[in-house]
Chain A
Amino acid sequence: MNDRALMWKNLWRKPVRTILLVVSITIAFAILCVMLSFNDAISNVRTLPTRMITLSKINFTEPLPMAHYDRIARMEGVAVATHMNWFGGYFQEMPRGFLPVFAVDPETYFQVYAEDLQIPAEQRDAFFNDPTAMLVAAPVAEKFGWRVGQRIPIKSNIFTNSTSGDSTWEFMLAGTIPTPQGSSQTGSVLIHYDYFNETRTFGRDRIGWVPFLTTSAELNDRVSNAIDQRFANSADETSTNDEATFNKSFTAQLGNIALVITLVVGSAFIAILLIVGTTMALAVRERTKEVGVMKTLGFSSGRVLRMVLGESMLLAFLGAGFGALLALGLLAMAAGAGGGGPPVSLAPSALLWSALIALGLGLLTGLAPALQAYRMRIIDALGRR
C-alpha cells in the first residue's frame, strides 16, 4: 500500500456516488472533445489567396445558369474557372452511406484545386477519359472497401437518372485522392458534370457554384465586384468572395452553433464543478475523524492535503480520460455513419484542453476540502467523544 493506493480506496469509498460523478464528468469532457475536434477540422482547411467562389446571392443551394460560368471564365483577372454541382449522393443507405458527391468539370477542376489533387497520372487520365468515372478521397474508398476499377452504384436523394428511371447512377472508381490534414478534398467524391447533366431528368444546364482562380490576389476585390455587378439585376444575382472569406462566412454560421455549444458545455462544466465540489467537501467532512486519526498517527498536514487534492485530481482526470475515449468512439461512429461531412478525428488540441480543464476542475473541487483537512486540528477532529 502507498499514498496513491489510499487515495484510490478513498475515491471508491462510495462506489455509486463516484460512478455518478465520473459519468457526469465523462459526458462533459466527451462533448468538449467532440466539439473541439469539429472546430479543429473546420478551421484547418487550407485556402489559396487567389481562389474565389461565386454563388447565388440568395444562398448556396440555389443553382446558377451555366451561362454564368462561361461569362465568369472569360472575365478579366480570372485565370481559370470551374463549376461544381451538389449531387446529394449516398451509398446504399442514409445516413451511414452519406457522400459529399460533386459533379465537376474535371479538367478545369484539376486546375483550380491543383495543389490538393496530386494523384498518379494514369488515375487522373482514367478519370478524365471515362464520363462515368469518379474520384474519391482515399479514406472514403477505404471506409466502404472500394477498389480502383470497381463500378459503384451511388444514389442521389435529389435527382433521378433518366436512363434507368430511378435515382441510382453507376460510377467507375478511377482513383483515390490522398487527403492530408487540411486538404480541400477531404471526404470528396468527384463525378463528371457532363455525364450527370445529360442523364438527370430536371435542373439541366444549371450549376451549383463557380470556384475560380484570379491571376493575382491583388485583383480579388476588383474581380469580385465586376462579377457581381455583371449579374446584378439579372434573374440570378451572385455573391463572390475569396475562399477564406467564404469559409469564414460558412463557419460563422457554424460559429453561432459553436457558441451555443460552448455555452452549453460551459454551463455543464460549472454544474459539474459545483456538484463535484460539494461532494468532495462532503466526503472529506464525513472523514473528519479519519483525518484526525491519520494526523495522530503522524501523517503531516501537507501530506493529508496532497491526498485530498490527489483524490479530486484522480476523479477529474478519470472523467477526462473516459470522456476522451468516449469522444473517440463517438467520432469513429460519426465517421462510420457518414453524418454529413468528412471524417473528424480527435484533435490533439482537444486532448490538451481536456487535460488543462481537468487540472482546473481537480484543483477547484479539491482545494477547499484539502485546505479544510490541512487546517483540521487533531483534538477538534477526534472530537470530545
Chain B
Amino acid sequence: MTDLIRLTDVEKNYTRGKEKISIFDKLTMRIEQGDFVAIMGPSGSGKTTLLNLLGGTDKADKGAIEFDGKRIDNLNEGQLTAWRAANVGFIFQFYNLMPILTAAQNVELPLLLTKLAPKKRRENVATALKIVGLEDRAKHRPREMSGGQQQRVAIARAIVSDPKLLLCDEPTGDLDRTTADEILGTLQVLNRDLGKTIIMVTHDAQAAKFAKRTLHLDKGRFEQAELAA
C-alpha cells in the first residue's frame, strides 16, 4: 500500500505572550491510503493541532508534510485553500453547518468551488445525502434536525466533492451512544466501500474501535510501538 500522508520531523510551536510552547518536536508519521486511524490522547496533547496541520488550516514551523507524494507544507495560503477544496473533507464536533442553508444547500457549498454544472451538482448532492441516509431531509434547515442528522449532513458535505482524506475532530463528541455508533458506522462504510482515508480524533475508546487502528498521542508524541506498525 502507498502512503497518503507522510510527516517528517514536523515541529510546531505556539507563542503565548512571550512564552513559546512546543506542541510537536520532530513528529514523524505515515498514514496509508485507505486507512482509518483513530487518534486518542489527553486534552492538550495536540490532536486538533495535528489535524490542522494535516488539513492545511495551520502551518508547521519545520519539517515536511507530504500528501500523495507531494509536499503541502510549502504551499502558500491560496494554493493550500485550493488543495484543501480538492482533497480534504472536514467533520467537526459541533457540525458547523450554515444555519441559513438547507441540508442540500449545506452539502452543495463545497461544489460552489468546482466548475460542475448545476444539474451535476444536484446529482452529487443527492448522492451524498443518500449515502448518509438523509435523502428525505434535503429541504430541512439545521435547526430542524437532530444532532445526529446534522452530523450526517456534515459528513455528506465532507464527501460531496469526493476527497481522498476525511479529517474528523471528535465527530461523535456531542452525540449519545446509539447515534454515535450510527455515525461511526457510516464512517466505516465510507472507508471500506468508498476507500476514503479517515483520520478521526476521539476521546471515546468505544469510538476508536470502529477504526482500523488507534494511535495514542501524548505530549506531542505517538507511542513508538504503534508507529512502527
Interface residues of chain A, those whose CB is within 8 Å of chain B, are: 1-3, 6, 9-10, 12-13, 289-290, 293-301, 378-379, 382
Contact = CB atoms under 8 A, between A and B. Distances in A.
20 contacts: A1-B108, A1-B109, A1-B112, A10-B100, A12-B100, A289-B96, A290-B98, A294-B109, A296-B57, A297-B84, A297-B110, A298-B84, A298-B85, A299-B85, A299-B112, A300-B78, A301-B77, A379-B52, A379-B58, A382-B96
Contacts of A297: 84-85, 90, 109-110, 113, 157
B105 A378 contact: no
A13 B98 CA distance: 11
B150 to A, nearest CB: 13
A378 B55 CA distance: 11
Contacts of A12: 100
A59 to B, nearest CB: 62
Interface residues of B, number: 25
Contacts, number: 60
Interface of B: 52, 55, 57-58, 77-78, 81-82, 84-86, 90, 92, 96, 98-101, 105, 108-110, 112-113, 157
Contact of B100 (A3, A13, A300): A13
B119 to A, nearest CB: 13
Contacts of A13: 99-100
Contact of B105 (A1, A293, A296, A379): A1
Contact of B81 (A2, A6, A300, A382): A300
A286 to B, nearest CB: 11
Contacts of A6: 101, 112
A86 to B, nearest CB: 61
B160 to A, nearest CB: 10
Contacts of A2: 112
A378 B57 contact: yes
A367 B96 CA distance: 26
Contact of A9 (B52, B82, B86, B100): B100
Given A294-B109, A298-B82, A382-B92, 4 more contacts: A3-B112, A296-B55, A379-B52, A379-B58
A379 B23 CA distance: 15
Nearest to A9: B100
Contacts of B52: 378-379
A378 B58 contact: yes
A10 B109 CA distance: 14
Nearest to B163: A298
A84 B124 CA distance: 79
A293 B96 contact: yes
Contact of A298 (B96, B99, B101, B113): B113
